[in-house]
Structure 1
């Protein structure tokens, strides 16, 4: 059990070390010069000529005479002292002969000099000892207050230590650290006051739990545990129910944090650069990883493939906002919508201390996706831990908790993955991202297998590229003035922000419905190979962002022998829209509003008007967002009501504008590694259509046939257009 009073029993020892040896200090009268007794006085009081000092209680027979050394003599003896503080008889005789002093005068000068040095050293050590003692007293008082104010989470009454299963691990770690400090200080005290060194046995907190549980080696020597927040702060930050798994989760999170930091800061041979012409992709050398982390975070899972990559970038966002995005599950899902199809925080073990996320610990579940129904999502159950290190760097790490769910069959596992965030001037941050997973990819379609195997589908490069692009988008959304590149009917900053907010929901809705999530049940309609059309239905009720009724989603993915950039430029260009967009009915498409939200010209939000010859489609408006980075591109659009868009353009609330997004996800085929322009493209086409406005209606076969025909016709038009363009 943690003992708040464990310091008080040895305070008397520490207090004794505060006293300076005054009898020794009385021998010194000057810090720069020493006085030696005359030869007659020395022989009178010490006829034997040895090192015995005169009895201080003996009354002298006559007044002592002193000899003051010259400056030259002092300088020579000081110089000799630096080389040899304990000269022998021969050295004393030679030095005395050279300086015109008797050997005993030299001997006493060196004795006095050693006494002075010892006294100075003791004063310095005593000063440090007092500071350490005061620090321990303050910690002791703080811990007693924290423990005295703790309450039972069940009844609200005073809690005993045995009830605080959540804190037992942290208190035990604190005890280990404080025990080391006590032993060190006791050793210092014993050195100068002649007392034996005190040692303290391990002080367990409730049921003991070994640190060596296969989750890696960690301790105060790493610099990480020493940075853990204090027990008092931890007690005040507890949120959520207490259960028996939490001490193990804490151990796992701390070990994962240590491994993540070491992997982020270690270069070759742990990380291997390549492939690609610029050798910019870093992948993990598994043999070196085993040597560097011989125990690791648990054994490797049988039958699973290991993927590990690292990527760094400078992004236009300050470190505090980045940490908030990563620790807020809603913001995290929104920013990484193309990678995270679903996410949920199951339990918050700690909200952090000092008003920020330092020390925050939360148990989560998430599905990671590639935007195609041909690539199964990767579902993980993990703990996320945030830490602010003493060098100013923030780190956020994930590690799987699948071993705490014995009934589950693991198809994937997150080894320590996450990022280090370093603050840079002018609101920028440097992000170093690590993705280290074990996965079962047997369900991946053959045309996506090269992309997944290259590490580009789920790896660190895609996370960092997405974050960089989204940071640019958020910076654009927060701009108060309308950039000169924006054109059209947007006349106010409020209207610009409302349109960007609406486009954000457009992208999120598309990405959430295009992957092979376990929340969706796709049905293959017809055909064979990668051109199979997959459909699913859902009911939309009381959702202000979607029209009520039965919504049919249809998607297919296929390979194109055209580089991704050429496909992206073709699909986002309003001038070529009539070549593939059946709904535009061959009409002229005009861009009425344009918001640039990134360095690449392809990153923008547009409001398009279709001037069709068909009176029923006259002046139809289309909201579209296009985005691209080094790992993939999107063109997402949805028809919008003219009246509702006028409200948005004037700065009104965009949440009640109904959207049914359709669009395209364009990825490299993986054949060229990270050189995305050397091979072909993987294109996913997805539509959402309201097939019945009555939510209780049943889906008709005619509706399925219609959407099947629509998507296949669109695919054929795109293939024909890009083939002609590539010829």
Structure 2
């Protein structure tokens, strides 16, 4: 058998070679006759059993092992052949289907609707398509009317170009990369010499009946208004006379000469009537913060509220038009909203929708604010208009900044302010540049205390032993202050005239349903009022800061004494601090009071809230305090006279103001956790009674009960 296989070494099928498939045992090639017989057999029986393989091996003269390997290899070869054939057939079918698909798509593209000349629409979709087109058409008409109306308003007021200013006025030196683009039809209307024809605005709008065109026009107007505001603000900052003249009184404040101002920056008034007034103030001061940090806070609405919690109660960034350069944010432009409120529920909040524009100039960074009517705002509901205002921030070598601030607003005071606050509001004490500067200086001192690297021994009192705990308590207290300042605006609920509100006096009560994180859930009742006392504002502040007097006015102590468990200093004045107070209540060992107090020549605040040991312990241990519930009450103390300009922050003298003080008292209570147990009027009466009784106790302690 071996010799016959050797003689046929060159014959046989190539697939029959190496039957052992790499095994060590080697076999000689099959003859043509053996291969033919095997192939004939495999057609009838592709999977022979062992007996069949032995029988076949005897018949053709091979070993059973060779027969087994040959059948395995042959089956694999046949399987591969079938797979190749199937793949070829599938590929041909796929090419055919793809060709048909391309042909059908081309045919669909060339099809036209015989009625409108557009792509065909199925019968069931026709009515739906017509309805959608009518809605889109109505929307486009509304956009067209809004943009046309706003364009007409802007085209009516001619802005003076920089060429028209006298030689003595210096141009702005800074980046111009974010100036309004030129070259299109809209910019030729706004920036060029021609045309106050209202049809031009309509032609501009007719060229693009869509929201994209509206956005482009609005963005161009934003840059135009912001650039003009920046130019005006820089000139007002750089030049005092003839715009700013020192007051003849002892305070030496800079007053804006409206006649000289109107000659250089002519504009129409935004409000009309006997109650319209203009407030314009300018002030400078040094704050311990870098210019880059300060600009970042100005351009972040959340940080903006945290920076000025006693002035800005709400803020929102409505649109970011340009982010500006990395680092100093020069060129940044955004549309913002803010609600401002100070001092008393009888001082009306102010709301502004304005553009905030940042620009690097030769002296430093300038932040310019100016009111702006957005296209999305159908009707202007604001009673205040911000003319170009803002500040120049100059970096100093010691990490501080010199701030020059200008605040220039036009106010329509339709709701008469309380008589005692008219001078404070009208003279710019409440919302003027001096208040912004002093509040910035105070909050920068607080920042310095927040980032202190070692806890002072007199601050910890053995209670707060970690920097994380100190910062968590300070964050908790700062959030408490923000909630209190927002509470006294009295705009989130229904006012209850429980007392005589003639001339803006009496007690104002509001009731709101709270579901906000960080406040107790349920029905919250707030009451606030302001009274005049014939005492210096520092005397009042010292009264509330004296622990020995707390039992005379604080109902949380139940008439018992209290002592400070811990104190965190956050300013130059010893009264600027965060305190944790424990009242001596025999029946209650879990009660604590969190309090923040601070004072400045512009006003003093004492804000406090009840809490418990578990809540305060989590903050002291450094845990996140942003979710801890707090419901603050407190006092705002304001002198009713003019501040002494020589009284720097932290330097207080009983002679720096004349007259008495205005004391605002505000309380909040959780009337019901489910909002249904106590009727609104009963809840309002309860907190009103609490507030009035507290005022009586304060007057009694201060020997002021003989006042009407």
Question: TM-score surpassing 0.5?
Answer: yes
> Which secondary structure does the structure 2 equivalent of 1:656 belong to?
coil
Structure 1, residues 671-721: CA drift from partner, whole Å, max 9, x if none?
Answer: 678786211111111111011111455535433222111100011111222
Structure 1, residues 492-550: CA drift from partner, whole Å, max 9, x if none?
Answer: 11111111010110101100111144x44322212355652211111222x34112211
1:447 matches 2:420:
yes
Structure 1 partner of 2:272? 302
Q: Are 1:482 and 1:492, in contact at CA under 8 Å, matched by a contact in 2?
A: yes
Q: Of residues 494, 498, 509 in structure 2, which corresponds to 1:521?
A: 494
> Which secondary structure does the structure 1 equivalent of 2:702 belong to?
helix
**Deviation of residue 627 (structure 1)?**
1.1
Structure 1 partner of 2:538? 565
Structure 1, residues 2-43: CA drift from partner, whole Å, max 9, x if none?
Answer: xxxxxxxxxxxxxxxxxxxxxxxxxxxxxxxxxxxxxxxxxx
TM-score, with length taken from structure 2: 0.67
**Deviation of residue 269 (structure 1)?**
3.8
**Deviation of residue 334 (structure 1)?**
1.6
**Does the C-alpha gap of structure 1 residues 506 and 394 become closer, same or farther in structure 2, counting only changes over 3 Å?**
same
Instruction: Find the aligned partners of 2:490 and 2:589 in 1 and give their Cα distance.
Output: 36
> Which secondary structure does the structure 2 equivalent of 1:532 belong to?
coil
Structure 1, residues 605-639: CA drift from partner, whole Å, max 9, x if none?
Answer: 000000124x0x33521000001112111000001
Structure 1, residues 345-393: CA drift from partner, whole Å, max 9, x if none?
Answer: 111111112354211111112222123111111111211111111x250
Structure 1 partner of 2:260? 288
> Which secondary structure does the structure 2 equivalent of 1:567 belong to?
helix
**Deviation of residue 457 (structure 1)?**
1.1
Instruction: Find the aligned partners of 2:569 and 2:331 in 1 and give their Cα distance.
Output: 38
Structure 1 partner of 2:71? none
Aligned residues: 509
After the TM superposition, which residues 224-623 of structure 1 pair with which residues of structure 2 at under 5 Å, given as runs? 224=172, 227-229=175-177, 242-274=215-247, 277-279=250-252, 281-291=253-263, 293-295=264-266, 298-299=268-269, 301-303=271-273, 304-389=276-361, 391=362, 393-402=364-373, 407-443=379-415, 444-488=417-461, 489-517=463-491, 519-529=492-502, 532-541=506-515, 543-613=516-586, 615=587, 617-623=588-594
Structure 2 partner of 1:655? 626
Instruction: Find the aligned partners of 1:276 and 1:516 in 2 and give their Cα distance.
Output: 35
Q: Which moved more, 1:689-698 or 1:458-467?
A: 689-698
**Deviation of residue 593 (structure 1)?**
0.5
Instruction: Find the aligned partners of 2:224 and 2:467 in 1 and give their Cα distance.
Output: 48
After the TM superposition, which residues 648-687 of structure 1 pair with which residues of structure 2 at under 5 Å, given as runs? 648-670=619-641, 677-687=657-667
**Deviation of residue 320 (structure 1)?**
0.7
**Deviation of residue 273 (structure 1)?**
2.5
Instruction: Find the aligned partners of 1:276 and 1:481 in 2 and give their Cα distance.
Output: 46
Instruction: Find the aligned partners of 1:354 and 1:244 in 2 and give their Cα distance.
Output: 26
> Which secondary structure does the structure 2 equivalent of 1:562 belong to?
coil
Structure 2 partner of 1:3? none
Instruction: Find the aligned partners of 1:315 and 1:672 in 2 and give their Cα distance.
Output: 20
Q: Are 1:498 and 1:651, in contact at CA under 8 Å, matched by a contact in 2?
A: yes
**Deviation of residue 397 (structure 1)?**
0.8
After the TM superposition, which residues 91-106 of structure 1 pair with which residues of structure 2 at under 5 Å, given as runs? none
Instruction: Find the aligned partners of 1:436 and 1:714 in 2 and give their Cα distance.
Output: 39
Structure 2 partner of 1:74? none
> Which secondary structure does the structure 2 equivalent of 1:244 belong to?
helix
Instruction: Find the aligned partners of 2:155 and 2:404 in 1 and give their Cα distance.
Output: 28
Structure 1 partner of 2:195? none
Q: Are 2:251 and 2:644, in contact at CA under 8 Å, matched by a contact in 1?
A: no
Q: Which moved more, 1:408-417 or 1:710-719?
A: 408-417
Instruction: Find the aligned partners of 2:358 and 2:609 in 1 and give their Cα distance.
Output: 38
Q: Are 1:612 and 1:619, in contact at CA under 8 Å, matched by a contact in 2?
A: no
**Does the C-alpha gap of structure 1 residues 503 and 233 become closer, same or farther in structure 2, counting only changes over 3 Å?**
farther
Q: Are 1:351 and 1:360, in contact at CA under 8 Å, matched by a contact in 2?
A: yes
Instruction: Find the aligned partners of 2:555 and 2:304 in 1 and give their Cα distance.
Output: 35
> Which secondary structure does the structure 1 equivalent of 2:431 belong to?
coil
For structure 1, which runs of at least 5 residues remain unmatched after alignment?
1-206
**Does the C-alpha gap of structure 1 residues 618 and 678 become closer, same or farther in structure 2, counting only changes over 3 Å?**
same
Structure 2 partner of 1:694? 674
Q: Are 1:220 and 1:226, in contact at CA under 8 Å, matched by a contact in 2?
A: no
**Deviation of residue 723 (structure 1)?**
3.0
Structure 1, residues 276-321: CA drift from partner, whole Å, max 9, x if none?
Answer: 5452x22212122223x2435x556433211100111001111111
Instruction: Find the aligned partners of 1:724 and 1:295 in 2 and give their Cα distance.
Output: 51
CA RMSD of aligned residues (A): 3.1
Q: Of residues 616, 621, 632 in structure 2, which corresponds to 1:645?
A: 616
Instruction: Find the aligned partners of 2:248 and 2:436 in 1 and give their Cα distance.
Output: 18
Q: Which has the larger radius of gyration?
A: 2
> Which secondary structure does the structure 2 equivalent of 1:595 belong to?
strand
For structure 2, which runs of at least 5 residues remain unmatched after alignment?
1-150, 183-211, 646-654
Instruction: Find the aligned partners of 1:710 and 1:696 in 2 and give their Cα distance.
Output: 21
1:706 matches 2:686:
yes
**Does the C-alpha gap of structure 1 residues 474 and 602 become closer, same or farther in structure 2, counting only changes over 3 Å?**
same
**Deviation of residue 656 (structure 1)?**
2.5
Structure 1, residues 441-465: CA drift from partner, whole Å, max 9, x if none?
Answer: 2421212112112210111111111
**Does the C-alpha gap of structure 1 residues 608 and 275 become closer, same or farther in structure 2, counting only changes over 3 Å?**
farther
Instruction: Find the aligned partners of 1:460 and 1:307 in 2 and give their Cα distance.
Output: 10
> Which secondary structure does the structure 2 equivalent of 1:463 belong to?
helix
TM-score, with length taken from structure 1: 0.65
Instruction: Find the aligned partners of 2:642 and 2:172 in 1 and give their Cα distance.
Output: 41
Instruction: Find the aligned partners of 2:680 and 2:384 in 1 and give their Cα distance.
Output: 38
**Deviation of residue 592 (structure 1)?**
0.8
Instruction: Find the aligned partners of 2:390 and 2:213 in 1 and give their Cα distance.
Output: 24
> Which secondary structure does the structure 2 equivalent of 1:425 belong to?
coil
Q: Are 2:558 and 2:585, in contact at CA under 8 Å, matched by a contact in 1?
A: yes
